[in-house]
Amino acid sequence: MIAARLGAVRQWPRLQRPRPLSRQASSAPTRLDFQRIDAKWQKRWADADAASRAANPNPVEIDPTLPKRFILPMFPYPSGSLHLGHLRVYAIADVLARYARLQGYQVIHPMAWDAFGLPAENAAIEHGVDPAEWTRENIDKMRKQLKLMGGSWDWSREFMTCDSSFYRHTQNIFSALFRAGLAYQGTAVVNFDPVDNTVLANEQVDAEGRSWRSGAVVEKRRLKQWFLKITHDQESLLQGLGQLAKNGRWPERVTSMQRNWLGKSKGHEITFQIVSSIRHGHLQESRSTVQVFTTRLDTLFAAQFLALSLKHPLVQNLAKANVELRSFINDNSHSPPESTAGFCLPGVWAEAPLKDMDATKTDPSVRNAIPVYAAPYVLSDYAEGAVMGVPAHNSRDYAFWRRHMGEGAPVLNTIAPTLEAAASAPVYYRCDQTTPFLFKGYLTGAVPRRFRGLQSDKAAEEICHALSKSDYPAKPKDQFRLRDWLISRQRYWGTPIPIIHCNSCGPVLVPSDQLPVKLPELKPDQLREKKGNPLGEISDWVNVPCPQCHNPAKRETDTMDTFMCSSWYMFRFADPHNTLEPVSPDRADSTMPVDVYIGGVEHAILHLLYARFISRFMATSNIWPAGRDIKPVGEPFVKLISQGMVHGRTFSDPSTGRFFRPDEVDLTDPNNPRIKSTGETPNVSFEKMSKSKYNGVDPTKCIEKYGADATRAHILFQAPVTEILEWDEGRIVGMHRWFGKVWKIVDNARNSMWNDELEPAPEQVLDIEHSISKYEVDGFTDAEADLWLSAQSTIKAVTDALENTYSLNTLVSDLIKLTNAISAAKISSLSPGKTRDALGEKAVRTHIYFASTTILLRLMGPTVPALAEECWEYLFLPKPTGNPQQSQPVFSVSRTRNLDDPMPRTTGIFSLPTSRIKPSFPREDERVISKLSSRTHICAVQQNGKLRFVARIPFPPSHLNQNESTVDLIQWATQQIMETDEAKEYFGPKGLQKFGLVKKVVVAKGGKTVNFVTAKPTVR
């Protein structure tokens, strides 16, 4: 057996050029120069990238027959500086992209710029800069910063949304939506600054409702705006969420936020009859009906008024002859939704359904004929623009009723929380004696007899049934809260809406061969101190002939919401240079959908919903034909990771709460900060990074100080990706300690290989692993079995984290554990003829140590790529022949060698040949894991230190294998012993009681000795 094992190693086919043993092998340097490692590898990757681009005429082409993975972090707004939140999302994405590459996928991992938007326009207004130039400069700055973090982006797909080569296609998509009837012009209430004469975005209105610039009180104005009809797809968008929520594809939190936003409520449409008696010299009664939507049919009998939107046909009709109503409508058309304003329609009454069933004759004047109001709080686009007012069970209706009817007004109470309360509840309260009861409950005595005492749901059912026998049955109806998507912005710095307004033809699309409608270039200072949208003033841009009738017409001056750019940008990566179409159907099919999408939870609703809507449109309109066949149809993002925010360490004055600047705090001892002026201890908390709290961190500085790898690893290690990350720079040294340990392992492995005259090539590591797992496991020493099991289990855990759970913090801790396991192993050189006995069970032979190290380095590759590559190269550098200086690592601080010296190159981790069939990322061998975890060893069972018998028990599982006898380990070991035949034979039917009272159990030597300390040794 042993001979066979030794033979296997001797015949190791990967042995190369045995060299004479050298005693001059270098020792590991103690400090690594991380900045130089970063610089060296970032340059190597960039060179390799450039070379492969030069060799490949079409680098963005994906082979549709081979598996691909599209890893996309949400693209950044080019604000000009990268923050830690960016670093976090791009680190996550880069780890996943690098992993996928090592797994043999064709990887799409691109970067682009969400480059339209307000900050550029504001900079232009305030400082007179050209928004295009401002944006380009910021992009250049951020691209440099991004490159510093060691990411593996595919720059050949880069684009910016403010470039006409991109936004011509945003216009194309708008045109397609317009032709499909999904883009239309309507009116909407907007924030209007009456001083600057401009429309404001919500974020430009402060908490007091004033404009951020002029300070004027912002008015709500109704203006003509462009909308996309997202409500057309509301049901499909909702249905899709069900499938996205399955198997953790999307975080539950995001799907439920979207579900709430869509706001589907199941309810009923019911009919109220309207009686109008209008005097035209004589009384004339006319009847009509109004449809009302309610989700609470059980409260029908508590309806005390009807409220109609100001645009309701009945209201509009009455307004023709009623001056007061007309002026009420004019005065209130901009009222906020919480307004309690109302206008009681004279001579108009509503009759409640089922009024005839009321046998109690409570008060016919209230019950049977109820007043009808025109009220701005009723939205014209919600349901039929009519609601039934239920003061007793709806807060808004209650506030309205109280204002219009007074404090003493009767409130008809039809629902009580319990059956008992329902039985004794009075029919009416006074307004000032009650607050609305909003929940479901039991119907009171104020309703017709047959419904009394029924639970709300049951009552709703019965009422629906009763209505079905009346002249006006209730119709079950679903109502959505979702509104159409308003895309108009009265701004310069956005995608022009490709529409020309003609007096005779109406809004006409700009013909596609005339796209793009380019933003006119501004003269210097043209935006400076400008109010409103300058597009309207550029007459040679605005005034154009109508494409249909050729009469003079005007361009639309609104530009599109930037959400429009980000709703389809992921498609553009598939075909970034296509001038004719947004994306060719072939390219869309081979690249979409995005396999993993990563971004902040602040985009959980709008961006993701808009992107789903547009992507569905792309799939159903043949731009993305394969999108129709996926489930849910046209869904753009297979998996979604919502990363948490980054909070910064914040210091404040314990007495005043004032925030301290960093220079006001003495951080000589990071664990014991002091206020410089007083010597006292400040309050320390972690809060959202902001300028006012002086707790922001510049990620570039951090990278400069600690290196990209340590910063990446730290950011991933400190918190699960979905949770808030409390940024504590002081802990990065922990990563450096880890790196130092890895480096030492690599140095050990290399020197031992040389001593054993082994020199495999990087391309052979897969075969080496395979050969060890296949032929050598049975001959392992205990220590080798432990180490190999540890390596194989770590492959499994790391793969699971990168493939399924995205638990990247435990991934880092698993890598550190494997590092510790390798580092604890004692390498034993295996000279031919050395026997297993001479080795001992604690020995780990060189090639097992070496193979475990190559596994560790490849597992580390995605997370700390530069360090892993450097270690890898060092591990495989050919043995020096003469000058020992040649083998010195080039990046050690203590060495003087020039980094740019030509080095013998080996195949790097990220340049190993890789495919889905034979990936260069390690794959665990399940058979080996189960074999190694079920292996047994001899256990000496003692009583008070005296050997009683020996039994074969399994090795303790790694989580129990501590140096001390933990309760869990004792329980585990005792159970394992008692299940053996040897124990059954020794103890007989008495079991452990044969030992008498066991006071203590000591498990030693990893379970090889178990000593039962008992009260009194039994005499045998």
In the complex, the smallest distance separating the C-beta of residue 546 from Zn ion, rounded to whole angstroms, is 3
Considering the complex, state which of residue 236 and residue 548 has its C-beta at the smaller distance from Zn ion: 548
Element (H, E) at 610: helix 606-620
Considering the complex, state which of residue 546 and residue 614 has its C-beta at the smaller distance from Zn ion: 546
Considering the complex, state which of residue 209 and residue 506 has its C-beta at the smaller distance from Zn ion: 506
Q: By CB under 5 A, what part of segment 517-556 binds Zn ion?
A: 546, 548-549
Number of C-beta neighbours around residue 92 at 10 A: 23
Amino acid at residue number 933: S
In the complex, the smallest distance separating the C-beta of residue 501 from Zn ion, rounded to whole angstroms, is 9
Q: Give 3-state DSSP helix, strand, coil % of the chain, rounded to 5.
A: 40, 20, 40
Q: How many residues bind Zn ion (CB under 5 A)?
A: 6
In the complex, the smallest distance separating the C-beta of residue 507 from Zn ion, rounded to whole angstroms, is 10
Peptide bond into 1017 cis (omega under 30): no
In the complex, the smallest distance separating the C-beta of residue 371 from Zn ion, rounded to whole angstroms, is 48
> Rounded to 5 degrees, what are φ and ψ at 738?
-60, -50
Which tokens hold the place of 372? Answer: 């009808």
In the complex, the smallest distance separating the C-beta of residue 553 from Zn ion, rounded to whole angstroms, is 6
Exposure pattern of 799-822 as b/e (b: 16+ CB <10 Å)? bbbbeeebbbbbbbebbbbbbebb
- What's the Cα-to-Cα distance from 750 to each of 28, 605, 892, rounded to whole Å? 10, 53, 17
> d(Cα 849, Cα 827) in Å, to the nearest integer?
7
Which tokens hold the place of 511? Answer: 């013909």
Amino acid at residue number 104: G
Element (H, E) at 225: strand 219-228
Considering the complex, state which of residue 455 and residue 548 has its C-beta at the smaller distance from Zn ion: 548
Residue 184 DSSP SS3: strand
Considering the complex, state which of residue 408 and residue 506 has its C-beta at the smaller distance from Zn ion: 506
> d(Cα 114, Cα 131) in Å, to the nearest integer?
14
In the complex, the smallest distance separating the C-beta of residue 179 from Zn ion, rounded to whole angstroms, is 17
In the complex, the smallest distance separating the C-beta of residue 500 from Zn ion, rounded to whole angstroms, is 8
- What's the Cα-to-Cα distance from 70 to each of 62, 93, 631, 843, 874, rounded to whole Å? 11, 10, 17, 44, 32
> d(Cα 132, Cα 116) in Å, to the nearest integer?
9
Considering the complex, state which of residue 405 and residue 542 has its C-beta at the smaller distance from Zn ion: 542
> d(Cα 262, Cα 252) in Å, to the nearest integer?
15
Considering the complex, state which of residue 554 and residue 937 has its C-beta at the smaller distance from Zn ion: 554
Amino acid at residue number 376: P
Considering the complex, state which of residue 189 and residue 505 has its C-beta at the smaller distance from Zn ion: 505
In the complex, the smallest distance separating the C-beta of residue 502 from Zn ion, rounded to whole angstroms, is 3
Considering the complex, state which of residue 502 and residue 515 has its C-beta at the smaller distance from Zn ion: 502
Considering the complex, state which of residue 550 and residue 1016 has its C-beta at the smaller distance from Zn ion: 550
- Residues in contact with Zn ion, shown as a per-residue x/- string from 482 to 521 under the rule CB under 5 A: --------------------x-xx----------------
In the complex, the smallest distance separating the C-beta of residue 555 from Zn ion, rounded to whole angstroms, is 13
Tell me the DSSP string of 333-392: TT--TT----EEEEEEEEE-TTGGG--S---HHHHTSEEEEE-TTS-TTSTTSEEEE-TT
Residue 267 DSSP SS3: strand
824 counts as binding Zn ion under rule CB under 5 A: no
Considering the complex, state which of residue 28 and residue 505 has its C-beta at the smaller distance from Zn ion: 505
Tell me the DSSP string of 380-403: TTSTTSEEEE-TTT-HHHHHHHHH
In the complex, the smallest distance separating the C-beta of residue 547 from Zn ion, rounded to whole angstroms, is 8
Exposure pattern of 396-412 as b/e (b: 16+ CB <10 Å)? bbbbbbbebbeeebbbb
CA 596 to chain centre: 10
In the complex, the smallest distance separating the C-beta of residue 497 from Zn ion, rounded to whole angstroms, is 17
Q: Are 382 and 310 in contact (CB under 8 A)?
A: no
Q: By CB under 5 A, what part of segment 295-314 binds Zn ion?
A: none
Considering the complex, state which of residue 108 and residue 502 has its C-beta at the smaller distance from Zn ion: 502
Any residues with CB less than 8 A from the CB of 916 and at least 6 apart, and which?
A: 66, 67, 103, 104, 105
Considering the complex, state which of residue 548 and residue 764 has its C-beta at the smaller distance from Zn ion: 548
In the complex, the smallest distance separating the C-beta of residue 128 from Zn ion, rounded to whole angstroms, is 38
Considering the complex, state which of residue 312 and residue 501 has its C-beta at the smaller distance from Zn ion: 501
Peptide bond into 476 cis (omega under 30): no
Q: Are 500 and 508 in contact (CB under 8 A)?
A: yes
Q: By CB under 5 A, what part of segment 882-921 binds Zn ion?
A: none
Which tokens hold the place of 139? Answer: 């992009």
In the complex, the smallest distance separating the C-beta of residue 513 from Zn ion, rounded to whole angstroms, is 18
- List helix spans (H) across 689-731: 699-706, 708-717
In the complex, the smallest distance separating the C-beta of residue 557 from Zn ion, rounded to whole angstroms, is 18
Any residues with CB less than 8 A from the CB of 294 and at least 6 apart, and which?
A: 267, 268, 270, 300, 387, 388
> d(Cα 309, Cα 312) in Å, to the nearest integer?
5
Considering the complex, state which of residue 546 and residue 802 has its C-beta at the smaller distance from Zn ion: 546
Considering the complex, state which of residue 503 and residue 930 has its C-beta at the smaller distance from Zn ion: 503
In the complex, the smallest distance separating the C-beta of residue 510 from Zn ion, rounded to whole angstroms, is 13
> d(Cα 251, Cα 244) in Å, to the nearest integer?
9
Residue 235 DSSP SS3: helix
- In degrees, to the nearest 5, what angle opens at C-alpha 958 toward C-alphas 954 and 963? 95
In the complex, the smallest distance separating the C-beta of residue 504 from Zn ion, rounded to whole angstroms, is 5
Considering the complex, state which of residue 34 and residue 178 has its C-beta at the smaller distance from Zn ion: 178
Considering the complex, state which of residue 278 and residue 505 has its C-beta at the smaller distance from Zn ion: 505
Q: Are 863 and 37 in contact (CB under 8 A)?
A: no
Give the residue among 181, 190, 160 at the shortest CA–CA distance from 487.
190
Q: Where are the beta strands (DSSP E) in 34-79?
A: 68-73
Q: By CB under 5 A, what part of segment 941-970 binds Zn ion?
A: none
In the complex, the smallest distance separating the C-beta of residue 506 from Zn ion, rounded to whole angstroms, is 8
Longest dimension (CA), the chain: 125
In the complex, the smallest distance separating the C-beta of residue 593 from Zn ion, rounded to whole angstroms, is 41
Residues at the site binding Zn ion, with contacts judged by CB under 5 A = 502, 504-505, 546, 548-549
